[in-house]
Amino acid sequence: MSGGLLLDCDGVLSDTELDGHLAAFNLAFAELGYGFRWSREVYAELLRVGGGKERLRRYFADHPEIAFAGGADLDAAVLALHRRKSEIYVEIAESGRLPGRPGVKRLVEEALDAGWTVAVASTSAPESVEAVLRTVVGSETRARMAGVFAGDAVEAKKPAPDIYLLALSELGLEPAQTVVIEDSDVGAAAAAAAGLAHLVTVSSFTTEEVFPEASAVVTDLGEPGAPARLLRGGIELEDGLVTLSGLAALRGSRA
C-alpha cells in the first residue's frame, strides 16, 4: 500500500496563520517602524495570495497611499521585511505556541511505518516550515521524511501547481499513487491543477471556503477520544480518525 503523502504546512500541520504568521507580520511592522498593522480581516483577504513576500507586494500595490518604497527599493524593502518576519515566526514556532493539529503526527508516522514517501509542500519560507514541522512531529520523525519543498523553490506559488509538480518529480512519485492534505482553496486548487487527489482539513481562516475538487473535506484528522467529522466527500473514518487506508482509497480519484 506504499505511495506518496504530501502535506501543506500552514493550516494543516498547525493552525499557524492567526497566532503565527499574522502575529509575526505585525511584530515585524512595529519593530521596523512601519505605521500600520494587518487586521484579521485584511489578512484573510491576503491569504488568497500564495507566499508571504507576494502578500506584502499585493498589499502595497493595493495601498499606494502608504509611503513604503518604489522600484528596486520596493523589492529590497519587501525582502528585508519578510526576512525579519520569518525570523520572528520561527521564534514563535520554536516556543511551542503553535501546537500541531489533531492527528497530524499520528498519520505521518503511520504513513512512514507503512513505507510511504512523506513530504511537505508549502509556499512558506523553508525555515518557517522546518520550525513548525519539528515542533509538530518531532526531530526523529522529521528525519524520516523525504523532505520539504517550500518558499522560492518554484517561481509560481499556489494556486499554481508548481510546488506539487516539483515534489512529484524530485521524489519520483506518480500522481495516481499520491494524495495531498490541504486546508485552503488556494492550496486545494494547486493540488487539483497538479492532478492530485486531495483531502481538506479546514482551518481557522478556511471554514467558509468551498473546495470544489476536493476528494473529501474533514474538520481535522482526528485523535483517539477526539474524533474528526466528515463534512463532505467519500473518505471512510475509522472511529473518527483519518487513517492511511482511508487516504489510500482516495488516491487516483483524479486520474
Residues marked as catalytic: 8, 10
Q: Grid coordinates representing 90?
A: 520561527
Q: What is the CA radius of gyration of the chain?
A: 18
Q: What is the DSSP string of 192-245?
A: HHTT-EEEEE--TTTTT---TT-SEEES---BTTB---EEEES---BTTB--HH
Separation between Cα atoms, residue 74 and residue 162, nearest integer Å: 26
Separation between Cα atoms, residue 227 and residue 91, nearest integer Å: 31
Q: Check residue 99 and report its DSSP letter.
A: P
Q: Grid coordinates representing 155?
A: 517561481
Type of residue numbered 177 = Q
- Please confirm whether the linkage preceding 161 is cis (ω < 30° from 0): no
Q: Which residues have C-beta within 8 Å of that of residue 6, sequence separation ≥ 6?
A: 118, 119, 120, 121, 164, 167, 178, 179, 180, 181, 196
Separation between Cα atoms, residue 158 and residue 189, nearest integer Å: 8
Listed residue (252, 249, 204) closest to 238, CA to CA: 249
Q: Alpha carbon 173 to chain centroid distance?
A: 20
Residue with cell string 509556499: 123
Separation between Cα atoms, residue 191 and residue 7, nearest integer Å: 10
